[in-house]
Amino acid sequence: MKNYSKISISEEVRIELHDKLGLTGAEVSINTLPAGTSVPFVHAHKLNEEIYAILNGEGSVEIDGEKIAIKSGDWLRISPSAKRQFFAAHDKAIKYICIQVKADSLIGYTQSDAIF
């Protein structure tokens, strides 16, 4: 059995990598919102925080009623209970990665977890 998984992805609107890579500690998705569209629902989580990396484009995210502008290069961490919804700019699509992990589960960082 290999100690790694590798895939190539296409240009889909949403790609969830959990099953494709056999992830065991995180959920990762790659998302694209066309210009003028939004995620069609507001949501929160029970246990998982989300980390968002904005790859390209621009738009906004509404978090607990506060609208925040986002653009390529921005990173966000959102607490589990925060209610959130993402919006693409009216004239530009937005592409982002969402990493979902259990809040307060990080035991060690890169250096403290590495084996040399």
* Structure tokens, 40: 């069609």
Q: What is the mean pLDDT of residues 11-18?
A: 80
Of 64, 110, 102, 69, the C-alpha closest to 83 is 64
pLDDT band at 35 (very low <50, low <70, confident <90, very high): very high
The model's pTM is 0.87
Higher pLDDT, 86 or 4: 86
Higher pLDDT, 112 or 62: 62
* Structure tokens, 65: 């009623």
Q: For residue 49, what pLDDT is reported?
A: 97
E strand map for the chain: 14-16, 27-33, 48-63, 66-71, 75-78, 84-88, 94-102
Per-residue burial over 62-97, b = 16 or more CB atoms within 10 Å of its CB, e = otherwise = bbeeeeeebeeeeebebeeeeebebbbbeebbbbbb
Q: For residue 40, what pLDDT is reported?
A: 93
pLDDT digit string, tens, across residues 36-95: 999 999 999 999 999 999 999 999 999 999 999 999 999 999 999 999 999 999 999 999
- Going by C-beta distance under 8 Å and a sequence separation of 6 or more, which residues neighbour residue 34? 13, 88, 93
